[in-house]
Amino acid sequence: MRLFNFFAIMFLLVGALAFSACTDTETVTETVTETVTETVTETVTENVDPGPVYEEIGPGFEVGVGCYEAGDGGHMLQGTDMGDCIRGERGDDSIKGLGGNDQLDGGPGNDTLYGGAGDDELIGGSGDNMLNGGDGNDIAVYKDAVRVAANLANNMATVKHAGETVDAFGDTGTVVEGIDTLMEIENVKGSLMGADILNGDGGPNVLKGLDQADTINGGGGDDMILPNRPVELDDDGMAMSNVADTDATPAEVDGIDNVNGGEGSDTINYEGESGSVTIALGTIVPLADQGNTDPSDDVAAHVAAVLADSDNDRIAIDNRGTPDDATDDQSTIENVIGGFGADVLTGDARSNTLTGGPGGDTLNGEAAPDSADTMGADDTLNGGAGNDTLNGGPGGDTLNGGPGDDTLNGNAGDDTLDGGAGTNGLNGGAGDDTYIINKGSTETITEFAAGDMIHLKGFTSEDRTANNLAIDGTTLQLVDKDDSTDTTAVATITTGATLVRITQDVMFVD
């Protein structure tokens, strides 16, 4: 019995203790403070396409020194800031000139040429090329082509090269051999073999034809037009800017350069010619005569100067019609400069300046009066060196013979005739004319009437005070005041077969 009770007591004690623990309450408060500092370093590697890699051409390949020859195959070449000479040969090349006056030649293939800064010469060769001149005054050259039709206004050139049997100029049923895109190109040089068509744009252009019958249209701007071949332009041969564009040159313009200067003050230069040049620029030809069924859109040639630096040139300005003509735009060709040979320069009814150059030239201020327009314009004729013949028109002309034995004919109008140095013949014609007598020259005046005047040029103040002016028969002379036997002949004056007495004023001029 006691043993049982012991276990009972123990159970009760344990049970009491367990109950007491379950009912105990404990409050725990915990504060946690955490600071995290993290530094992240990340390296990203990305594969970027560097684009085309150009092979750099080092120094030593400058224009005039030597050209870099890339050989066949497509190349990517880059020059220096010097004037580089780079040739790509066969293949699709991309060539950059950078600075300097570069000469870039792509050769056969579809090439891209970029001149960069400087005045560059770009030669695309056969194929469809992109020619970008960049900054500067750049030129596209087609001298090795068979024929080219280049138009700077629409940035395009259609080209035909040797060995092609197709027509490169867009006739029905034909295939175009090559088309170049022209960007930042100001000037064009045509082909040696074909009749080219070169069209400028609104800016100043240099358009140079070579050895065949070219059609050159300057467009707006002050252009330099260089046909560069012996030509003959007559009344039937002046084709206008929209002449039929065919590979076969029309018969009526066969062998003829056709020049339309456009709206600017243009210059036509035949420098370097060896043969005779006869030009009647500005003649209006109805386009129906050129195979065009609409003759209403006639175009005139606007040319400010013609330079004919060759032997024995014949240049005639033939501006037909009147300025108020409602049908045709009239030509405005004003000035002609001859060359070293014996030139024949003929103006029109407008005001012209004709300069003969060093040769023995014949300058005519106005062509024969073959039209109803008889207004008298005032021309300036400059004979230059050589034995020249200058013929004024009906206006008040200025004739300057220059060095040499010259013949000056003023014709109608109040003219000024200055024979220059040499033995000269002066005839003012009708009107109140002024004859300028140079010291040391010998003059024969074959027309001296009331209203005419003589100016003595180049005589010093001592000459003026020490001499008297007198006439001895037909001779105007200076007579030494201290020695009447010391005379200086100034001019011999006649009027036909009748001797005249000088009653007009004679003036000394500096």
pLDDT, one tens digit for every residue, the chain (510 residues)? 455 554 444 444 444 444 444 455 666 666 666 666 666 666 665 655 566 788 888 888 888 888 999 888 889 999 999 899 999 988 999 999 989 999 999 999 999 999 999 999 999 988 999 999 999 999 999 988 888 999 999 999 999 887 544 443 444 334 447 899 999 999 999 888 778 888 888 888 888 877 666 777 777 776 666 665 433 333 332 322 222 222 322 222 223 355 655 555 555 655 554 444 444 343 333 222 333 333 222 233 344 455 544 444 455 554 433 333 323 333 445 667 666 666 677 766 666 677 766 667 777 766 433 322 323 567 788 888 888 888 888 888 899 998 999 999 998 889 999 999 999 999 999 999 999 999 889 999 998 888 888 888 888 877 777 777 777 777 888 888 888 888 888 888 876 545 555 555 566 655
Closest CA to 366 of 411, 330, 401: 411
Instruction: Supply the pLDDT for residue 152.
Output: 93
Distance (Å, whole) CA 416 – CA 455? 10
Q: What is the pLDDT of residue 257?
A: 52
pLDDT at 163: 58
Instruction: For residues 121 and 466, give the distance between their C-alpha atoms in angstroms, rounded to a whole number.
Output: 64
pLDDT of residue 232: 34
pLDDT of residue 94: 95
Instruction: For residue 203, give both structure tokens.
Output: 């800016």
Tell me which long-range contacts 422-431 makes (C-beta under 8 A, separation of at least 24).
422/387, 428/452, 429/392, 431/396
Distance CA 222, CA 92 (A): 36
Q: Report pLDDT for 345.
A: 74
Q: Do 384 and 356 touch, CB atoms closer than 8 A?
A: yes
Rg (CA), the chain: 43
- Do 144 and 191 form a contact (C-beta atoms < 8 A)? yes
Whether 134 is covered by a domain: the verdict is no
Residue with tokens 């005419």, as numbered in its chain:
452
Domain annotation covers residue 438: yes
Query: Does 460 reside within a domain?
Result: yes
- Alpha carbon separation from 335 to 320, 349, 353, 389 (Å, rounded): 16, 13, 5, 17
Q: Residue 228: inside a domain, yes or no?
A: no
Full residue range of the structural domain in which residue 445 is found: 432-509
- Is 252 a domain residue? no
The verdict on residue 480 lying in a domain is yes
Question: SS3 breakdown of the chain: % helix, strand, coil, rounded to 5?
Answer: 5, 30, 65
E strand or H helix that includes residue 259: strand 258-260
Asked whether residue 330 is domain-assigned, the answer is no
**461 found inside a domain:** yes
Looking at residue 218, what is its pLDDT? 74
Rounded CA separation 218/228 (Å)? 15
Residue 178, classed as helix, strand or coil, is: strand
Residue 467 sits at φ, ψ, to 5 deg, of: -130, 155
DSSP E strand boundaries for 68-204: 68-69, 76-78, 85-87, 94-96, 103-105, 112-114, 121-123, 130-132, 139-141, 147-151, 156-160, 178-183, 187-189, 197-199
Count how many domains the chain has.
1
Residue 182's pLDDT is 96
Q: Are 127 and 110 in contact (CB under 8 A)?
A: yes
- The phi and psi torsions of 78 (rounded to 5 degrees) equal -135, 130
Q: What is the pTM of this model?
A: 0.51
Q: How far is CA 141 from the centre of its chain?
A: 14
Q: What is the DSSP string of 339-408?
A: -SS--EEE--SS--EEE--SS--EEESS----SS-------EEE--SSS-EEE--SS--EEE--SS--EE
Q: Check residue 57 and give its pLDDT.
A: 86
State residue 58's pLDDT score.
80
